[in-house]
A and B are shown apart, each in its own frame.
Chain A
Amino acid sequence: GAVVSQHPSWVICKSGTSVKIECRSLDFQATTMFWYRQFPKQSLMLMATSNEGSKATYEQGVEKDKFLINHASLTLSTLTVTSAHPEDSSFYICSARVGGRNHNEQFFGPGTRLTVL
C-alpha cells in the first residue's frame, strides 16, 4: 500500500513557540492531504483539508491563523502550529488521498505527538 510519513514523530516545545510538522507521500503523488488531531481515548477529528497549490479548507472551529497549512508540492504538506499553548498538546495525524477526485482511498501517516510545556 501507499506510504505516508510524518516528521517529527514527537516534539516538545515551550509555550509561545511555533512548531512545523511535515507530511509526505513517499511513493505516490497526493493532490489532497488531510490533517487530523486526536486527543487521548478519542477518535480522529478532521482539522483541515490541504490542497496542492491552493488554500487549505478548515473545519469549523479550527483557527486558520493558528494552524497554518502549506501544500507546496504533490508529495508534501506542512502544518505549523503557531504560538503553541499547552492546550495544543495532542497527537496530529495526516493522511493522503490516493487517486482522483472521485477516489477516496486515504492512507494515514504515523502521527506526531506534540507536547507544549
Chain B
Amino acid sequence: KNQVEQSPQSLIILEGKNCTLQCNYTVSPFSNLRWYKQDTGRGPVSLTIMTFSENTKSNGRYTATLDADTKQSSLHITASQLSDSASYICVVSPLKAAGNKLTFGGGTRVLVKP
C-alpha cells in the first residue's frame, strides 16, 4: 500500500529560526513529490515539486530535498516568519496511479511564535 508519513506532527519555533520537516514514503515508482503549504481554512498551495531524478529544489526560504534511494524528503524553512505558520503537506504522485490519484501525508503543523 502506498503511504506517505510525515514528522513531526507539529512543531513550534521562534521567529527567525530554521526548521526541517520530514517525509518518508513507500510510493514506488513515483512521478513526482511535492510539498504544499496550507494555511488554516485555505486550500493547499504548491511550494516545490521534484521528479525522482532531482534531489533539491528551492523556492525562496523553502528548500526541499529528495533521496530516492532511502525514499525520504525534507522541507527546510530558513529564517522563519510569522506567516510561515501553516500546515505543510508532502504529496507523492505515483507513476501510474489509476485515475492519477495523489498520496497525501498527514501534514506537519508549524507555529511560528514572535
Contact = CB atoms under 8 A, between A and B. Distances in A.
Interface string A18-47: 000000000000001000000001111010
B44 A46 contact: no
Contacts of B99: 49, 57
Indicate the member of A4, A44, A49, A91 with the most B CB atoms within 10 Å: A44
B109 A41 contact: yes
* A contact residues, range: 20 to 34
Nearest to A51: B99
Contacts of A67: none
A24 to B, nearest CB: 13
Interface stretch (B18-26, B76-84, B100-108): B100-108
Interface of B: 31-32, 36, 41-46, 49, 89, 93, 97, 99-102, 104-107, 109
Contacts of A110: 42-43
Contacts of A97: 100
Contacts of A43: 89, 104-107
A106 B89 CA distance: 14
B107 A91 contact: no
Interface of A: 1, 4, 6, 32, 41-44, 46, 49, 57, 91, 93, 95, 97, 101, 104-111, 113
Given A42-B106, A43-B107, A44-B104, A104 B32 contact: yes
Contacts of A113: 41
B42 A104 contact: no
Given A104-B31, A108-B44, A111-B43, A46 B100 contact: no
B41 A91 contact: yes
A43 B104 CA distance: 7
B46 A111 contact: no
